[in-house]
Amino acid sequence: MKNRYMPTAIGLYMNYVVHGIGVIIISQNQNALMDQWDTDLMGIAKVISMLGIGRLIAIMISGRLSDKFGRKPFIYLGMVTYMAYFFGIVFSPSVEVAMFFAVIAGIANSFLDSGTYPALMESFPKTAGTANVLLKAFIQIGQFALPLMIKFLVSSGLWFGWSFVAVAVILVLNSLYLWKRPFPDQEEKQAAEGTEGAVQQAPTTKFKSKPKMAIEGVAFVIYGFIAQATFYLISQFIGTYGEKAAGMAAENAGVLVSYYSMGSLLCVAFTAVVAAKVRPIYLVLLYTLVSFATILVMWAFPTPLVCTVGAGLVGFFAAGGVLQLGLTVMGEMFPAGKGTITGIFYTFGSIASFVIPVAAAKIAETSVRNIMLFDTIIAGIGFVLAVVIFIRYRQTIDTSEA
């Protein structure tokens, strides 16, 4: 059936193509930016790290405010602050100024997340898992397109900054496109006020008993941390692990990241179809179990074949959308404040992005193989949490009409 919010969703997905570009645009232009800022790779790394700081600053409060003031204002706030980031970075005279604009980018990401995830869950209540997981695909599209754009600029002898200007222009055009598009929370408000133009409300979740924030709420929050940590460790250390623990040649170990990325993209395509037919909670449980088992085998049997197959499987089951599926299930169990729960869920995922690399670096000082043991423990905890969430879901949600 045709959904009247589909044109709105297209604009929301386009924002995440730009977001995917925004995450890597500094590293992709690092040589030009090092010259502009008179710095080295450490200076570039400092700027990139500020994206996470900005995200942590804003994600909690932006989620709550999205519930209060609506999805559309925060999506536009995200677009405007992302524009400031792109123009700010390309014209920054120093690392310090660039760090400020990188914080702005993290805030922009938080604004987009707090408006977009709830908007998609409200626009497609019966296929919320598919709608959210597709964001991952559009992020990957942006990260695939940017290197091609930069290659064209370099080969043509053009200014590197056109890559920043181009994506800012895309945001301007998309803001015009979205201006008149309907948003479900706006129309529900119109219905409550008795105005015209509202559509039928989305079916509400039926409960057998009320979910408890102290049990499944806490489990979801920790799961957000664990899910982020699980695939972040693999994405950052799989090449080193393949070389040092499995004895692979450096060039072959480097390709493991490509298998990981390929698995992630395949999972997005698979989940987009399956999540429309199967409740996301079942996929969360399955994906978490297989990723735990795969990482366990990679730690116990570090051979080139195991690492090659394992990289693809972890990309599929741990990095292909399980984080978005977890948020979808949390939104189903706590439907009253989707913006707030988005903020809470992703706050702890952001914390993992800071804590885990530091912990892994310390562990690597003793043995690279211990990093995989560390990830096995983390993934095991994630599976236990998934089981707890699954049991509580079955106890609280009425699935008779599934």
Residue 396's Cβ-count burial label (10 Å; 0-12, 13-18, 19+) is middle
Q: How far apart are CA 39 and CA 27, in angstroms?
A: 13
Are 6-191 and 213-396 equal in CATH topology? Answer: yes
| Residue pair 109/78 in contact by the 8 Å Cβ criterion | yes
Percent over 70 (pLDDT), the chain: 92
Counted residue by residue, the chain has a size of: 402
Q: How far apart are CA 124 and CA 332, in angstroms?
A: 12
pLDDT of 61-111, one tens digit each?
A: 887 788 888 888 889 999 999 999 999 999 999 999 999 999 999 899 889
Instruction: Please state the pTM of the whole predicted model.
Output: 0.72
Q: How far apart are CA 345 and CA 218, in angstroms?
A: 10
402 — pLDDT class (breaks 50, 70, 90) = very low
217 — pLDDT class (breaks 50, 70, 90) = confident
pLDDT at 398 over 80: no
6-191 falls under which CATH superfamily? MFS general substrate transporter like domains (1.20.1250.20)
Write out 156-182 in H/E/C secondary structure. Answer: CCCCCCHHHHHHHHHHHHHHHHHCCCC
| Residue pair 5/124 in contact by the 8 Å Cβ criterion | yes
For residue 260, the number of C-alpha atoms closer than 13 Å in the C-beta half-sphere is 24
Write out 70-128 in H/E/C secondary structure. Answer: CHHHHHHHHHHHHHHHHHHHHCCCCHHHHHHHHHHHHHHHHHHHHHHHHHHHHHCHHHH
**Amino acid 195: pLDDT:** 46
213-396 sits in which CATH class?
mainly alpha
99, two tokens: 């760090």
Q: How far apart are CA 366 and CA 370, in angstroms?
A: 8
In terms of average pLDDT, the best of 37-41, 205-209, 277-281, 301-305 is 301-305
| Residue pair 39/93 in contact by the 8 Å Cβ criterion | no
pLDDT of 321-371, one tens digit each?
A: 777 788 888 888 887 777 777 777 777 877 776 677 667 777 877 888 998
Q: In the chain, what are the domain boundaries? A: 6-191, 213-396
